[in-house]
Amino acid sequence: MNSIATLSLSLAQGDARNENSQFHPTFGVNLTTHASGLAYKNDSDGRQAVDDQAYLALDDDTETIWSSSRPAPQWYAIALDQLYLVNKVEMVVTQSPPGPTAHELWVGNGSGVRTRFRTLSNSRTVDGQTLTVEARPPLLADELLILTTRSPSWVAWREIRVFGSEPPVSHSQHETPPLEVRKAVAGFKFPVQATHAGDGSGRIFVVEQHGRILTVESGRLSAQPFLDISERVSCCQERGMFNVAFSPTYASDRTLYVSYTNLDGDTVISRFSATGNPEKVEPGSEQSLLVIPQPGPIHNGGQLAFGPLDGFLYIGSGDGGHWHQDTAQNPGSLLGKILRIDVSGTQQPYGVPDTNPYSSEDDQRDEIWALGLRNPWGFAFDKKTGDLFIPDTGNTKREEVNFQPASSQGGENYGWLLREGTICFELWHCAMADTDLRSPVAEYDRPQGCAIVGGVVYRNSGSRKLQGQFLFADFCSGRIWGLRKPQPLFDKMWQPQLVAKADVPISSVGEDEEGNVYVTGYQDGVLYLLAER
C-alpha cells in the first residue's frame, strides 16, 4: 500500500536569492508548530488513515525519523508553496539491514502533471547514508515526490533536504495557458472523436456515440450523416460507437474501419466502404473483422489508428471493467491491450504480422502488441517519428501517459492492474520491483480531473512551441496539456505544460488534415478549435 506525505513549505527569509539555499519547511519559527504534514496510508479495508509524523523527515534533525511502516513501494511527497528552481535534493537514508534499494524522483512543475526526473537503482545503501540528486540546469518545481520501489526494510527517511532559489518573475504557477478553446461547430450528440480522412478534401469527421459519423466541410455541419448504424449499436455511458480510422490509401480505396459495441454488448471492429456522390457509407457494406466479448458495460473501447511506419491497424481494448478477472495481464485475452493487425492483405478477415510479440506463442493471442492497460482511450502516433503515446485511465488515484518509441518490437507491459500509474493498485498484489513493467512518462492525481483522454501529436506549423508535443485532456476538469519528449541537447526529462482550459467535459482530442487541433465537448455537442490567444 502507498503512503503520501504532503507538506506545505515556505522558503526561509534571507535565502531567496541564494541558488544553493535550502528550502526550510518553516515560516521562520518552530517547525513542529507551523509545518503541516500529512502521510496517507491505505488500511486493509481500503480506508485512508492519516499519519501526522511526515514532518519528521523535514525538521533538520537526522535523529528523528518518518516511517511509512510498510514495505516498498511507497511515496514521500513534498508540496512547495510556489514554483522554485530546484538544483539539488538530499535524502538521508533510514534502513536496517543494509541492502539494495531503488528510488525514483518525480517532479511537478505547476502544470498539474508530474514527470520522472531521475532513477536511483541497484544502490546498496546503509543507515545514515545521504543520497544526492543534482539538477543542472535547475528544475522548475512546486512538487517533489520520492518513490521507493525497492528496500530491504520499511520505507523511511531520516531527512529530506531541497535546495534552490526563487525563479524569475516570468515563471508563475498561474500563467495564462497559451491556447484558448474556440467554438467551431455545434449540433452534435455525444461526440467522441474528431478526425480526417487524409484524402485532400479538408473534411472533418465527427463520431457520435450513439452510432453516427457526421462531416464538417468548410465550417458547416452536413445535414446527412456520413454513416449511420445506430440501430446496431448499444449506447451509452461507456458503450456505443467509439472510433473511425480511415485507410492510409482512403483517397483511392474509400475504405474505413469503425469500432463499436453491438446489441449484445460486445466490441466489434468492422470495415466499411464509402461510395456515391455525395459520398456516404452504406451500412450494408459492413464486414465484421473482429468481435471482442465484453464481461461488463465499461472499458469497452475502441480506439483505432494506423501506424504511420508499418501501415498496420492498431486497436485499443479496455479491460472490460472486471478488474478481479485480471484480463489486462492475461496474454490469452484481448482485453486490456493494444492489438495490431494487418488489414491490407488477402488474409480474411485480417492477418497477424509475424513480428507481433506473441505471434508464435501457444495459448496467447497473436493480435496482442502491448498489454497491462485499463482503458487506453485516445492513443496517438507521432506521424513524423512513429512514436506512440498511450494515455490510460486510472482507477481512483492516478491518470497516466505511457510512451512506446518507434523502435519498439512490442510486448511492453504497462502495469495494470499491478499498478495504477506509478503506485500499487490497492486491491491487488504489486510486484513493482520484481516485474518488468513499463512506468508511465507522466501522470496526474485525481484532484486534477477524473479520466484522461487523448490525443494528438502536434505537427501543425502554426505554433513552434507546441511542435512535437502530445496533447491530451481530462474529461471532467477540461484541462488540456501538452507533453514534450526529452530533448538531448536541452533537457533530459519529459516536460508537461497546461496549454488550455475548457469549461465543458472533453471526450477526445483530434485534428484535421492541416494539423489544426480540436476537442469534442461531450455534453454540449460542440466541436472546439484550439487556437493561440
CATH number of 270's domain: 2.120.10.30
- The Cα 106–Cα 119 span in angstroms is 9
Q: Are strands 66-67 and 156-165 parallel, antiparallel or unpaired?
A: antiparallel
Residue 170: inside a domain: no
- The answer to whether the predicted template modeling score (pTM) of the entire model surpasses 0.95 is no
Q: Do 212 and 150 share a structural domain?
A: no
Total domain count, the chain: 2
Euclidean distance between CA atoms 52 and 75, whole angstroms: 15
- The residue among 104, 138, 165 that closes a domain is 165
On whether residue 177 sits in a domain, the answer given is no
One domain for residues 159 and 21: yes
**Domain of 147?**
4-165
Position 290 in a domain: yes
Is 272 a member of any domain? yes
What pLDDT shows up at residue 366? 97
Q: What is the pLDDT of residues 203-241, one digit of tens each?
A: 999 999 999 999 999 999 999 999 999 999 999 999 999
Among 425, 450, 475, where does a domain finish? 450
Do 285 and 379 fall within a single domain?
Answer: yes
Torsion sign (Cα): 296, 298, 304, 307 = negative
Q: What is the pLDDT along the chain (533 residues), one digit of tens a residue?
A: 233 333 444 332 222 223 344 443 332 222 222 223 344 444 544 444 445 688 888 888 999 999 888 888 888 888 888 888 999 999 999 999 999 999 999 999 999 999 999 999 878 999 999 999 999 989 999 989 999 988 999 999 999 999 988 888 766 666 789 999 999 999 999 999 999 999 999 999 999 999 999 999 999 999 999 999 999 999 999 999 999 999 999 999 999 999 999 999 999 999 999 999 889 999 999 999 999 999 999 999 889 999 999 999 999 999 999 888 889 999 999 999 999 999 998 899 999 999 999 988 888 999 999 999 999 999 999 999 999 999 999 999 899 999 999 999 999 999 999 899 988 887 776 655 456 889 999 999 998 999 999 999 999 988 888 999 999 999 999 999 999 999 877 677 999 999 999 999 999 999 999 999 999 999 999 999 999 88
The alpha carbon of residue 159 and the mean position of all alpha carbons in its chain are separated, in whole angstroms, by: 32
Q: Are residues 433 and 296 in the same domain?
A: yes
For residue 348, tell me if it sits in a domain. yes
Q: Are residues 10 and 55 in the same domain?
A: yes
Q: Are residues 207 and 321 in the same domain?
A: yes
Task: Pick the closest to residue 121 from 103, 105, 109, 106 (CA basis).
Answer: 103
Q: What is the pLDDT of residues 379-418, one digit of tens each?
A: 999 999 999 999 999 999 899 999 999 999 999 999 999 8
Q: Are residue 342 and residue 284 in the same domain, yes or no?
A: yes
For residue 518, is it within any domain? no
Please indicate, yes or no, whether residues 89 and 216 belong to a single structural domain of this protein.
no
| CA 370/CA 411 separation, integer angstroms | 5
Same domain, 206 and 318: yes
DSSP-derived 3-state class of residue 489: coil
Among the three residues 450, 474, 502, which one is the final residue of a domain in this structure?
Answer: 450
Shared-domain flag, residues 226 and 123: no
Give the CATH number of the domain where residue 8 resides: 2.60.120.260
Q: Are residues 91 and 15 in the same domain?
A: yes
466 in any annotated domain = no
- Same domain for 409 and 352: yes
CA distance readout (Å), 402 to 2, 61, 321, 427: 21, 39, 20, 22
Asked if the structure places residue 437 within a domain, the reply is yes
CA distance 351 to 195: 25
